[in-house]
Chain A
Amino acid sequence: MPVLTYLEAIRQGLWEEMERDERVFLLGEDIGVYGGAFKVTEGFLERFGEERVIDTPISEAAIVGAAIGAALVGLRPVAEMQFIDFISIAFDQLTNFAAKCRYRWGAGVPIVVRGPCGGGVHGGPFHSQNVEAYFFHTPGLKIVEPATPYDAKGLIKAAIRDEDPVLYFEHKYLYRRIRGEVPEGDYIVPIGKADIKRLGRDVTILTYGWMLHKSLEAAEIVAQEGIEVEVVDLRTLLPLDDETILSSVAKTGRAVIVHEDTRTGGIAGEIAMRINERIFEYLEAPVVRVTAPDTPIPFSPPLEEFFLPQVEEIVQAVRWVANY
């Protein structure tokens, strides 16, 4: 099977969807001639032409608003935010227009809004954010964040084919650092399905994005001490895959939730509550979370490293619940 980077897998998924379905088109800043700030759409303009690869003005509200309109009348837009931080500008279009169309008047809005999220590259407070929690609170939206090349390709295809608005967050730290096997040709990874990336019976780690990789490293470390960690990659954040989450935690009786996003109002709180509501009797230890602190993400390397959850913190959390 071919081995691709995370970035190449996203590109391949987009490319195949563009070939498969005439209605699919891309819009965003510097995505055509330049191929995108991270070069995800390099070569698309040459292959698909200006009608389907649209370089837009710096107008995130118009990019998303126009995507919504085009979707309402039958196209399948994929909008790029140059950095996902800029999605804040399209907040109203997403949370009020796109998210509520179906509920209010039965009109589906099959758009995808994708873009690079996350820290680790010294991008500072406006090029490093994780924005899922802003949207997690909005019924009508779907949110996915792949952590592997396989999932990246399968999820972008599923997102494009979905009948509802999907936010597709791609972690910029993983773009060229993570490689993996990706089947040639068509497959999808269903939205709403988590994936168990490592089997274990003692502790469940629930995570996504870059933190999947840190969690797998942590699992490897504690395995030396005889703690067998099951690592669940959420992949879809909205709607959460309760079945996979709850059955894994019911099995191990111990859960550590890890996310790169800040703590208060982060999705770990919601997951912990669902565990509490549904499988409290199965728990052998309190549910614990490892997250960034409640600050903006700082720029300078020592500050950013302090901000980002580290493998050692995950290891300690796992040990703590294991020994509770």
Chain B
Amino acid sequence: MVPKDLLMKMFYYLRLTREAESRIERVLYRQGKIVGGVYVGRGQEAIGVGSAIQLRPDDVVAPSHRDMSVFLIRGIPLKQIMAQYMGRKTGVTGGKDGNMHMGDIRRHVIAFPSHMADTVPVAAGCALAFKRRGEDRVAVCYFGDGATSRADWHEGLNFAAVQRLPIVYICNNNQYAYSTPLWRQMAVPNVADRAINYGIPGEIVDGNDVLAVYEATARAVERARRGEGPTLLECKTFRMTGHSAHDDAFYVPKELFEEWAKKDPIARLSEYLTARGIATEAELRDVEARVLREVDEAIAWAEQSPYPDPEECLEGVYAPPA
């Protein structure tokens, strides 16, 4: 049984992620306050929350572009994330990069380049270093279904498998890559089916059930820490938005949205909590109130933050002289 405080923490992060991204996508972006594009993980929040919440602070995570919850769980302050989306100096990358293109090496969060699947071999390299130094740390690498079409993905998995590295690969299979449906992306029905090529376990998980993600990740992480090598988890889910804020997803059949709305991961957890008497409605409302307050504060802070000075463009290409 997952203890109540952990369940409540999951609920908090699910709600925080949803609220933060909804504000970014549906309010701030429309108000013209966001710089550049916006990609959110609405409906997919359970994947990041259920997995990242159990990791140790010294484990490495390599989130992809729909894994806001992973950044939050790793302790990157929401206000700095908001500032990042607004191109401010106080943002996670100081304005050098935007939106979820961010990382924090002190918190062991690897920033992804846009190029899908580039992090897959890189995360394997982190795991290689852990193994070589005899540390029981793991790397957790996230990506979408479409990313698994890239050579770097296949090379990375094969490398990790051959070296039996302590790594967990987590796919959010939201059934689309931009406008491209899964069946045009791959000729196997499941991303997990790809694992057999590399001689590692591949497991299909209900990606809209935070507890299922939690448990599957726990098994894979234990395996990795025991030195038994990588696992590929395929979390089945659905992208409840367009690819980005400017995409109305005309190519997605409406029925699919309706069907998946019923499987909303947040509604599922709150039902679980109340139906079993683990938490009261009032307790959940308190979490909601806290989330709203925190998001409001973060946005206000970000909006008051300065933009970087133009000359900062020139800084940080190389290490400062010793």
Interface residues, chain A, with chain B CB atoms under 8 Å away: 29-30, 33-34, 37, 55, 57-62, 82-83, 85-86, 88-89, 121-127, 293-296, 298-307
User: Could you mark each residue 301-322 of chain B with 1 if its beta carbon is under 8 Å from any beta carbon of chain A, else 0?
Assistant: 0000001111111100100000
Q: Is B212 an interface residue (CB 8 A)?
A: no
Picked from B147, B152, B310, the residue with its CB within 8 Å of the CB of A302 is B310
Do A58 and B185 touch (CB < 8 A)?
yes
Picked from A83, A89, A307, the residue with its CB within 8 Å of the CB of B313 is A307
Q: How far, in angstroms, from A304 to B313 measured CA to CA in the complex? A: 8
Q: How large is the interface on B (under 10, 10 to 19, 20 to 34, 35 or more residues)?
A: 35 or more
Q: How far, in angstroms, from A252 to B119 measured CA to CA in the complex? A: 51
Picked from B87, B150, B309, B314, the residue with its CB within 8 Å of the CB of A122 is B87
Picked from B150, B308, B317, the residue with its CB within 8 Å of the CB of A59 is B150
- 26 pairs of residues in contact across A and B, judged by CB atoms under 8 Å: A29-B180, A33-B180, A33-B251, A34-B178, A37-B178, A55-B184, A57-B146, A58-B147, A85-B114, A124-B97, A124-B98, A125-B96, A125-B97, A126-B114, A126-B115, A298-B96, A299-B87, A299-B93, A299-B95, A299-B96, A300-B88, A300-B95, A300-B96, A300-B308, A302-B307, A303-B308
Q: How many contacting A-B pairs (Cβ < 8 A)?
A: 126
Do B36 and A58 touch (CB < 8 A)?
no
Across-interface contacts of A305 in B (CB, < 8 A): 310
Across-interface contacts of A306 in B (CB, < 8 A): 310-311, 313
Do B310 and A57 touch (CB < 8 A)?
no
Q: How far, in angstroms, from A307 to B184 measured CA to CA in the complex? A: 39
Across-interface contacts of A62 in B (CB, < 8 A): 149, 151
Which of B98, B116, B185, B312: most chain A CB closer than 10 A? B98
Known: A34-B178, A57-B180, A301-B87. A295 touches B314 (CB 8 A): yes
Across-interface contacts of B177 in A (CB, < 8 A): 29, 57-58
Across-interface contacts of A301 in B (CB, < 8 A): 35, 87, 307
Q: Is B101 an interface residue (CB 8 A)?
A: yes
Q: Is B77 an interface residue (CB 8 A)?
A: no
Picked from B97, B115, B186, B314, the residue with its CB within 8 Å of the CB of A86 is B115
Picked from B95, B113, B114, B147, the residue with its CB within 8 Å of the CB of A298 is B95
Q: Is B179 an interface residue (CB 8 A)?
A: yes
Which B55-108 residues sit within 8 Å CB-CB of chain A?
A: 87-89, 91, 93-99, 101
Who on chain B is nearest to A36 by CB?
B179
Q: How far, in angstroms, from A33 to B115 measured CA to CA in the complex? A: 22
Do B96 and A303 touch (CB < 8 A)?
yes
